[in-house]
């Protein structure tokens, strides 16, 4: 980004107001400081707009679907309008279904339950566990980590061309699962090209947009993906809700994800003493039980807020923050930023790194205790990817150990800083300064391991 573009990003768009922006936290060295939340990739703070919308609705909360009362009908309309709002946000096709779930993890496990019996799944080892693990009861092929976007496409092309167990009349169904943006490196994946490759071989594709949707517009039609999944808590919406949206046929053909009220259209006793069930064919088929109307409404509110703020402006400002962080880290020789696709790869506001001479858990603890900065350390629920990125690079053990390192095992863990539409410039500037000071001067406090975490020692 040029200097003029960066200045424009700063002047055009201030951070979107989020909850917790004025929270202060104590420092072990004395005093308090405004908390710098730089762990957006785990859970982004809720937008103030979302919280206000939910608070305004709360007095009118009622049972969703089938209720005769005014509040029930109002809540039902709000729930279904939220479904339409999110579908518009994702630019879904007219025949797509949108199901409200608990999270990205829940969405992908739901989809895994709907796969045809002979479906073969292809997934890169670089995925978050939410999109890596749900397919273990199917025929799954794990693909090695690519080192360029082009290699990712070529790897998938070869894997699909080499598909096993052809059936009479052709191959069985296949599904490709891919992330839109890595939760470890922040790098954008070539989703459109991977979708074209999948479809050229008669396969379908599901997009894990958990890290993409909060940072870039996601169009199901433009990317030509068959399904998309994401979580509200990464999209500046509180409460436990997520989304699975896409083609309806496999969803309608499968048994409900959960059996219960709401999923069933008609239940009768059979002569043999059992029950016969007629299931819904709509999204309700996989939304058994009382739905999380507040969670759905909060996601819809966040979708509206991001759309109204303008993606061009939001992306430009985030690219400015990314450039600031990367430039600051590049000035510290002891810091190594993790990457699959290289320095020039486009990315969202997620950056992982290691620091020579430091255990990452120790470094993250010092950032929190001495600077009031919240980041994440570990393997980020993407163990194969982080181990691939760190496996050949020994890391010096600090006085605080990593909880995942067994006795005698080399400690493999990293630090992740992540940010987004609610991040003030000051938080990024404080982070860069803190990294430089910790590397140059060392920690001001003593730390120890307690219950698997690195924490300040009691003086």
Catalytic residues: 381
223, 282, 305, 297 alpha-carbon torsion, rounded to 10°:
-150
Q: What is the C-alpha to C-alpha distance for residues 165 and 363, in angstroms, rounded to an integer? A: 49
Q: What is the DSSP string of 86-122?
A: HHHHTT--TT-EEEEESSHHHHHHHHHHHS-TT-EEE
Q: What is the C-alpha to C-alpha distance for residues 116 and 123, in angstroms, rounded to an integer? A: 17
Give the long-range contacts of residues 142-145, CB within 8 A, separation 24 or more: 145/340, 145/384, 145/385, 145/388
The CA distances from residue 260 to 108, 115, 127, in Å, are 20, 21, 32
- Report the interhelical angle of 311-330 vs 3-12 (nearest 10°): 130
3-state DSSP call for residue 307? helix
The pairing of beta strand 447-450 with beta strand 24-26: unpaired
Task: Kindly give, in sequence order, each residue whose CB lies less than 8 Å from that of residue 169, ignoring residues fewer than 6 positions away.
Answer: none
Q: What is the C-alpha to C-alpha distance for residues 458 and 445, in angstroms, rounded to an integer? A: 10
């Amino acid at each position: 980004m040029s200097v003029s573009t960066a200045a424009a990003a700063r002047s055009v768009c201030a951070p979107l107001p989020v909850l917790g922006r004025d929270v202060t936290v104590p420092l072990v060295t004395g005093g308090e400081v405004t908390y710098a939340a730089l762990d957006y990739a785990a859970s982004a703070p809720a937008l103030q707009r979302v919280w206000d919308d939910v608070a305004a609705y709360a007095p009118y909360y009622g049972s969703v679907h089938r209720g005769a009362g005014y509040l029930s009908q109002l809540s039902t309309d709000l729930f279904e309008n939220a479904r339409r709002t999110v579908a518009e946000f994702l630019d879904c096709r007219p025949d797509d279904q949108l199901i409200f779930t608990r999270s990205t993890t829940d969405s992908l496990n739901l989809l895994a339950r709907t796969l045809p019996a002979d479906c073969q799944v292809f997934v890169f080892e670089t995925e978050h566990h939410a999109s890596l693990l749900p397919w273990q009861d199917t025929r799954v092929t794990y693909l090695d980590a690519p080192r360029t976007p082009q290699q990712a496409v070529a790897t998938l092309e070869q894997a699909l061309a080499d598909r096993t167990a052809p059936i009479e009349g052709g191959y069985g169904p296949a599904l490709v699962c891919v992330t839109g943006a890595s939760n470890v490196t922040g790098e954008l994946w070539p989703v459109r090209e991977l979708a074209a490759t999948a479809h050229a071989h008669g396969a379908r594709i599901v997009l894990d947009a958990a890290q993409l949707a909060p940072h870039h517009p996601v169009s199901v039609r433009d990317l030509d993906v068959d399904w998309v999944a994401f979580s509200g808590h990464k999209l500046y919406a509180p409460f436990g809700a997520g989304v699975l949206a896409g083609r309806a046929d496999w969803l309608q053909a499968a048994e409900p994800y959960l059996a219960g009220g709401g999923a069933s259209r008609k239940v009768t006793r059979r002569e043999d003493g059992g029950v016969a069930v007629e299931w819904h064919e709509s999204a309700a088929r996989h939304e058994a039980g009382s739905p999380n109307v507040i969670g759905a409404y909060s996601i819809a509110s966040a979708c509206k807020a991001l759309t109204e703020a303008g993606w061009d402006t939001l992306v430009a400002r985030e690219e400015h923050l990314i450039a600031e962080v990367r430039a600051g880290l590049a000035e510290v020789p002891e810091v190594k930023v993790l990457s699959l696709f290289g320095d020039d790869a486009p990315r969202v506001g997620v950056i992982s790194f290691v620091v020579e001479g430091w255990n990452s858990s120790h470094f993250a603890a010092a950032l929190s205790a001495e600077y009031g900065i919240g980041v994440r350390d570990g393997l980020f629920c993407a163990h194969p990817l982080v181990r691939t990125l760190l496996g050949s690079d020994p890391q010096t053990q600090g006085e605080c150990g990593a909880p995942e390192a067994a006795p005698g095992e080399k400690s493999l863990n990293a630090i992740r800083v992540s940010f987004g539409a609610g991040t003030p410039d000051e938080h990024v500037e404080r982070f860069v300064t803190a990294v430089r000071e910790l590397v140059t001067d060392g920690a001001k406090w003593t730390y120890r391991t307690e219950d698997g975490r690195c924490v300040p020692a009691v003086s």
